[in-house]
Amino acid sequence: MIVQTIKRVCGLLAVLVLSISYTSFAEVSGGTGGGTDNGAQPYEPTVITCDGALDVAFDNNIAVFHDNVVVKDNRGEVYADLMTVYFKQESRNISLIEAEGNVIIHVDSKIAKSEKAVYKVNEGTLELTGNPRIHEDKNIYAAEKITIFQKNGKTEMKLEPKARLILYHENTGVEDGLFF
């Protein structure tokens, strides 16, 4: 049972990242949000490895992956120095996931980087702190904190404070200039 729960932890991070629409802060990407499987086949494995120990404290409802944690499945990859998973006591369902140190979340051409990522399962939020940035092709989104919200199948992103966007535009043949 603990192995299945741990697999779900990593799947939740990957599903969250897959559902993010980086091209608009308020547009829906079509993800299902809230920690569902987002169409992943049940027979597709999520593989979690770490160079250090995996400490599971059943009495404290916590599992800690140490040293060079790598999570891979068909939806994406998550890398971190340390990953801590918190479970609800009654159900053993995941309530919170913390990834710390050199966090990288990679899906398709999108890469999120930060020093810390906290995923609150019940709220459907992923909070990136510690020089967070999201790269989509050449475009970069950055701030002191990036929060990604998922509710009712919609994904929104908030960058605060000191938000920065670096956007590259394709050559469209139109003279350079702003439209407003």
Q: List, in order of start, the domains of the chain with CATH numbers.
A: 2-166 (2.60.450.10)
Mean of all residue pLDDT scores within the chain: 76
Helix, strand, coil shares, percent, the chain, to 5 = 10, 50, 40
For residue 94, the model assigns a pLDDT of 85
Indicate yes or no: pTM above 0.95: no
Q: What number is the average pLDDT over the span 88-106?
A: 91
Mean pLDDT is lowest, of 19-28, 87-96, 105-114, 132-141, for 19-28
Per-residue confidence band for 142, with pLDDT thresholds at 50, 70 and 90:
very high
Q: What number is the average pLDDT over the span 84-111?
A: 90
Per-residue confidence band for 9, with pLDDT thresholds at 50, 70 and 90:
very low
pLDDT at 85 over 50: yes
Could you give the CA distance from residue 38 to residue 119 in angstroms, rounded to a whole number? 16
Could you give the CA distance from residue 35 to residue 80 in angstroms, rounded to a whole number? 20
Residue 141 and residue 159 in contact, taking contact as beta carbons nearer than 8 Å = yes
Alpha-helical segments (H) within the chain: 2-18
Could you give the CA distance from residue 85 to residue 87 in angstroms, rounded to a whole number? 7
Could you give the CA distance from residue 74 to residue 70 in angstroms, rounded to a whole number? 14
Query: How many residues are given for the chain?
Result: 180
For residue 57, the model assigns a pLDDT of 93
Using one digit for the tens of pLDDT, what is the confidence trace for 98-123? 999 999 999 888 899 999 999 898 89
Helix (H), strand (E) counts: the chain: 1, 12
Cα atoms in the 13 Å half-sphere on the side-chain side of 4: 5
For residue 112, the model assigns a pLDDT of 95
